[in-house]
Copies of this chain bind each other. A is one copy, B any other.
């Protein structure tokens, strides 16, 4: 996939990210985003509920893909490895668009409210994985522990990938970080 999604959605996203970085998220209006994309406000609202959704669109679909990957792990897969499969699914989707991720991340890092929103989305993703583990018969406390720590590993790998797109693909960096967790958590 290229830098941006094709068509009107891609142009709106690109224009929004440019404006958020130039002026700040709070100072940007939907009218300005639409104008820079050469589209109308009405078109904007056919694609996004509001200007924040430009940054968080698609998270529902992502949650479903991640939960499906956890559910689809072969019987006998450990909870940790089932979570690894879920994170690999997330990394594959998110990892397709490095430049989008990088610019989006810069906007979110500059705005505490957006950053808090992002953390909340990641917490929801961990909860979705925990539910999928529960459906596999994993007890709730183990499911929570495995999902939360998996999500923590994902965040670290994502930060590495955003900071340096040449360090590896996102799925590779997530696998590396999961392996590293096994090492650092190993009893002495």
Query: Given the complex, which residues of B lie within 8 Å of A153, measured CB to CB?
Result: 145, 148-149
The answer to whether the Cβ of A155 comes within 8 Å of any Cβ in the partner chain is yes
CA distance A78 to B188 in the complex (A): 8
How many whole Å from A177's CB to the nearest CB in chain B? 6
Q: A148-B156, A160-B141 are in contact. Are A187 and B182 (CB under 8 A)?
A: yes
Contact check: which of B151, B159, B185 meets A181 at CB < 8 Å? Answer: B185
Stretch at the interface among A24-32, A43-51, A89-97, A112-120: A112-120
Which residues 115-147 of A sit at the B interface, judged by CB distance below 8 A? 115-117, 119-120, 123, 141-142, 144-146
CA distance A36 to B122 in the complex (A): 38
Contact check: which of B78, B120, B156, B159 meets A116 at CB < 8 Å? Answer: B120
> Interface centre among A80, A117, A185, A187, by most B CB within 10 Å?
A185
Q: How many chain copies? A: 2
Q: A116-B116, A116-B117, A187-B182 are in contact. Are A148 and B155 (CB under 8 A)?
A: yes
Query: Given the complex, which residues of B lie within 8 Å of A79, measured CB to CB?
Result: 184
Q: Jot down 24 A-B pairs with beta carbons below 8 A, ordered by A.
A: A78-B184, A78-B188, A80-B185, A112-B120, A113-B116, A115-B120, A116-B116, A116-B120, A119-B119, A119-B120, A141-B156, A141-B180, A142-B184, A144-B159, A148-B152, A148-B153, A148-B155, A148-B156, A149-B149, A149-B153, A149-B181, A149-B185, A182-B187, A185-B185
17 new A-B pairs (CB below 8 Å) besides A181-B185, A185-B186?
A80-B184, A115-B120, A116-B116, A116-B119, A116-B120, A141-B180, A142-B184, A144-B156, A145-B152, A145-B153, A145-B156, A145-B181, A146-B184, A149-B149, A149-B152, A149-B184, A182-B185
